[in-house]
């Protein structure tokens, strides 16, 4: 079974029936490798040696929008240099083979790209860090970098808005401090806003500059106009929204009801971190957050814990500066070099091991 990375689980989970290519990919890729090998061994090698990323998308020009799949085949830089002059022919051959081996018609159209990790489409090109995807009012403008830094601190790390009722402020504060243990900056209105600051404007600025929202849903969560608007703006911006049910009777309402909720029992952060580190919209700032706290882990277990989380991030999501930062930490900190998970991560990122 060939491994592949699904870059948008949100779209796929919401409409699985529209993407038979993804649902049957384990079988399709085996057929593809065999079919292509009959005519072109170089194209076959591309299929067998590449890291495969599948992205479910829609053709919005059609009515109704038609689902299709973007298939990115990422190969090593050295091999990419050898084949880049002929990559269009290889991509066309793969597309022809897909049409030949797909078991049913009609099926997904597939757009095939052959590239190296250095040229792979950046995960964080989405505009919500700098430009709100939708304007809800003329008074909402792009926030200047110094304003964002004043609200969140380090502009590179993950920024999480915690939406809650005032009577749940203690739980919100606890979650904020737990997230901080992983280098994640979060916003709790009653704690972050100074008494002489205009409350509404501060909330607007943070909700339009956060990377993700966590809703602490209690029994009277939805009737509150503030929590309703906070969640509505986050959903409208299409940033990740995570719902925590604080009791068995607490039920998300409206559009929030479509968001998969998890119970408050156990460690909430343990539920959130795997989502942050794998969602294309939050993975890069999440990597920066975890790298920021990695040097301060005092013993091997916490280092393994952080490295294991970083291993969940696709290699293509890492920026070169982040790879360099981890490599420097690995070489300079003996406690990190002793971690088996950190060694695996260094290998995954294609960096040289530490000298003896």
- Assess whether 272 and 327 both reside in one domain: no
Q: For residue range 224-244, what is the model confidence (pLDDT) as tens digits? A: 567 778 888 888 888 888 888
For the chain, the domain total comes to 3
Are 69 and 192 found together in one domain? no
162 shares its domain with 271: yes
Last residue of a domain, one of 119, 136, 161: 119
Identify whether the C-beta of residue 332 lies closer than 8 Å to the C-beta of residue 294: no
Q: What angle do CA 85, 90, 92 make, to 5 degrees?
A: 120
Within the chain, residue ranges assigned H as helices are: 9-14, 20-23, 25-37, 41-49, 77-83, 87-101, 145-152, 169-180, 189-192, 199-207, 225-237, 268-278, 283-293, 300-311, 320-332, 334-337, 340-348
| In a domain? residue 65 | yes
- Does residue 291 fall inside a structural domain? no
Residue-averaged pLDDT of the chain: 80
Query: Is residue 286 assigned to a domain?
Result: no
In a shared domain, residues 29 and 134: no
**pLDDT for the residue numbered 207:** 87
Contact yes or no for 181/293 (Cβ under 8 A): yes
CA distance 191 to 51: 44
pTM across the whole model: 0.59
pLDDT higher than threshold 70 for residue 128 = no
Q: Are residues 114 and 138 in the same domain?
A: no
Q: Is the pLDDT of residue 306 over 90?
A: yes
For residue 281, name the pLDDT band (cuts at 50, 70, 90): confident
109 shares its domain with 231: no
pLDDT at 267 over 60: yes
On whether both 303 and 205 belong to a single domain, the answer is no
Q: How far is CA 54 from CA 11, 65, 128, 194, 229, in A?
A: 12, 19, 23, 45, 33
Which of 16, 32, 127, 17 lies closest to 71, judged by CA?
32
17 and 70 co-located in one domain:
yes
Per-residue model confidence as pLDDT tens digits over 184-226 = 999 987 655 554 456 677 778 888 889 999 988 876 666 556 7
Query: Angle 320-212-176 (CA atoms, 0-180°, nearest 5)?
Result: 100
131 and 196 inside one domain: yes
179 lies in some domain: yes
- Is the pLDDT at 132 greater than 60? The verdict is no
Query: 288 lies in a domain?
Result: no
- Average pLDDT of the residues in 144-159: 84
The pLDDT assigned to 237 comes to 83
Tell me the CATH number at 210.
3.40.50.10140
Q: Are residues 259 and 303 in the same domain?
A: no
In this structure, the number of other CB atoms found within 10 A of the CB of residue 71 comes to: 25
57 three-state secondary structure: strand
User: Strands across the sheet with 185-187, in order?
Assistant: 185-187, 159-163, 212-217, 241-245, 261-263
Instruction: Report the chain's terminal Cα–Cα distance, integer Å.
Output: 36
Q: Does residue 90 sit in the same domain as residue 165? A: no
* Exposure string for 233-242, b = 16+ CB within 10 A, e = fewer: bbbebebbbb
Last residue of a domain, one of 89, 119, 149: 119
In a domain, 285, yes or no: no
Q: Is the pLDDT score of 166 beyond 80?
A: no
SS3 for 142?
A: coil
Tell me the torsion sign for CA atoms 216, 222, 223, 226. Answer: positive
Range of the domain at 72: 4-119
Assess if residue 105 is contained within a domain.
yes
Q: Which tops the pLDDT comparison, 166 or 197? A: 166
Q: Domain boundary at 67, 102, 119, which?
A: 119
> What is the secondary structure of 63-88 as a DSSP string?
SSPEEEEEEEEEE-HHHHHHHGGGHH
CATH of the domain at 85: 3.30.300
Whether 14 is in a domain gets the answer yes
Query: 284, 155 in Cβ contact below 8 A?
Result: no
Q: How many CB atoms lie within 10 A of CB 296?
A: 10
Is 104 in the same domain as 134? no
């Amino acid at each position: 079974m060939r491994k592949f990375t699904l870059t948008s689980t949100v779209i796929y989970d919401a409409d699985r029936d529209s993407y038979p290519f993804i649902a049957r990919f384990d079988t399709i890729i085996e057929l593809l490798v065999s079919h292509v090998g009959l005519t072109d061994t170089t194209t076959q090698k591309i299929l067998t040696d590449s890291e495969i990323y599948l992205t479910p998308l829609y053709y919005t020009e059609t009515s109704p929008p038609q689902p299709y799949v973007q298939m990115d085949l990422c190969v090593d830089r050295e091999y990419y240099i050898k084949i880049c002059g002929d990559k269009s022919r290889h991509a066309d051959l793969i597309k022809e083979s897909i049409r030949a081996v797909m078991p049913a018609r009609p099926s997904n159209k597939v757009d095939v790209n052959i590239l190296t990790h250095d040229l792979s489409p950046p995960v964080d090109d989405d505009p919500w860090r700098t430009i709100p995807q939708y304007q809800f009012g003329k008074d909402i403008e792009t926030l200047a970098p110094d304003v964002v830094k004043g609200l969140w601190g380090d502009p590179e790390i993950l920024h999480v808005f915690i939406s809650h009722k005032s009577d749940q402020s203690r739980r919100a504060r606890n979650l904020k401090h737990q997230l901080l243990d992983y280098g994640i900056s979060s916003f709790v209105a009653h704690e972050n806003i100074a008494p002489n600051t205009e409350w509404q404007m501060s909330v607007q600025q943070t909700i339009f500059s956060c990377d993700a929202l966590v809703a602490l849903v209690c029994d009277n969560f939805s009737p509150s106009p503030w929590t309703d608007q906070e969640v509505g703006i986050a959903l409208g911006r299409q940033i990740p929204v995570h719902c925590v049910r604080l009791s068995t009777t607490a039920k998300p309402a409206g559009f929030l009801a479509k968001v998969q909720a998890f119970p408050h029992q156990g460690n909430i952060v343990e539920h959130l971190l795997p989502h942050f580190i794998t969602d294309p919209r939050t993975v890069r700032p999440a990597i920066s957050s975890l790298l920021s706290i990695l040097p301060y882990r005092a013993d091997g277990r916490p280092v393994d814990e952080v490295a294991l989380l970083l291993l969940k991030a696709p290699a293509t999501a890492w920026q070169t500066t982040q790879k360099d930062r981890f490599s420097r930490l690995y070489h300079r900190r003996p406690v990190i070099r002793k971690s088996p998970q950190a060694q695996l991560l260094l290998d995954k990122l294609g960096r040289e091991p530490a000298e003896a």
